[in-house]
A and B are shown apart, each in its own frame.
Chain A
Amino acid sequence: MAVNGENPVLTFQNKLRIREYAEGYRLYDLIRGASKGREWKASVFFFLGIAMLFMLMMNDFNIPKLPVCTIVLLICMYMCTHYIYMLPKKAKLKGEHIFKSSKLLSKEYTFQFNKDYFIMENEFEKLKRYYTEITDCIETDELFLLIGGIEKQIIVISKRSLKEEESQILSHHFKREMIRQYRRTKSKHKGRKV
């Protein structure tokens, strides 16, 4: 397919399902949202908790003698669980909630990818975005996630409605046009660390 300034690289229609948007939102949350840096945050609480546990052990677990240590240990345990297990699950649920609450996300969009920018539009909305506005471009087995811009920061493109060939064209296009932003991760279970 010809690639020059005027001819679109690829044009297709895409309609999202709630599960796909939720997965996209979870990835966004890991990269740019509240879950960003959760590993190191959890490890800080983990080591602080170990230190408190060590202090309690040194004092034969005399809790009344070291109440603050005990409270800090409990807080650390909660925070570790929060960052490792609760936050990603919460992000996915939040994604589902956002999808359900929006009248536009479930509508079918027409995407037109050009050399320097893409356009997504439907009967209610039209958005033109240059690749220079994109801060992260993530590809998984199920979707493409484009993060960036001021309005509509999260754009999820489902691979379900794309042919294998179209998916590859888009993937190559993103690799070529967004060298720094592009990353590929595996499916949702294996691709937790992005």
Chain B
Amino acid sequence: MKSEIKESFLITEEDYIDMCLSRQKYMIPKENKIILAVMGIIAILCGTEAFINIRGNVYQIICWFLLIGIGLYVLSYYEVINPLITKDHAAKFFRYNQKLINSKTFTINSETFSMTDQMHCIKIPIRYIDKIVESKTTLLIFTGKEEFTFVPKRVLSKEQINIIRSMIAEEKYVRLPKEV
């Protein structure tokens, strides 16, 4: 089995957007999503119930619809609205900073991990990797809670991904449950 993986690549706008979406998916705590979903459902149910049973004057009807609207917004926030905002921000950020994007070389073996480009070079022992998060499109390599680098999965074969997975401890490798 080949013990070292070395690939060079250039980050595209799609890669950058995919990375931002994957990071967001990983970073948002599950409890937050559940709390917002429950709050949204409660608001929708309360609004619908009030509209059917109380109704009232025009002002009150507007209030019930407002409540249903807020409920829908809250319910869809993490699944629809937030990814759309992130996508937009990521695309703008990438276009603004496009001149800073250089080709990168990613190397990993059983001892070290490195990522180099013209401006930034990081070479750390593999035990310094905090987590590797695999989404449908991206491998996020965390060296701290918010410090990370990434490799688009399009530059790696399935076999190479399996080798990377075998190189680090099982509890440090996270596969995002739902495809991004």
Contacts and interface: CB of A to CB of B under 8 A. Distances in A.
Interface of A: 67-69, 97-98, 101-105, 124-129, 133, 149-152
Given A68-B67, A124-B128, A149-B100, A104 B143 contact: yes
Given A124-B128, A128-B119, A101 B145 contact: yes
Contact of A128 (B67, B120, B130): B120
A128 B66 CA distance: 51
B90 to A, nearest CB: 11
B144 A129 contact: no
Interface in B47-73: 50, 63-64, 66-67
A103 B97 contact: no
A133 B128 contact: no
Contact size range, B: 20 to 34
Q: A interface, by DSSP: helix, strand, loop or mixed?
A: mixed
B144 A68 contact: no
A102 B119 contact: no
A58 B43 CA distance: 25
Given A68-B67, A103-B128, A150-B101, A97 B123 contact: no
A38 to B, nearest CB: 18
A152 B120 contact: yes
B79 to A, nearest CB: 20
Contacts of A104: 124, 128, 143-144, 147
22 contacts: A67-B50, A68-B64, A68-B66, A68-B67, A69-B63, A97-B145, A98-B144, A101-B130, A101-B144, A102-B143, A102-B145, A102-B147, A104-B128, A104-B144, A105-B144, A128-B118, A128-B119, A149-B97, A149-B100, A150-B97, A151-B120, A151-B149
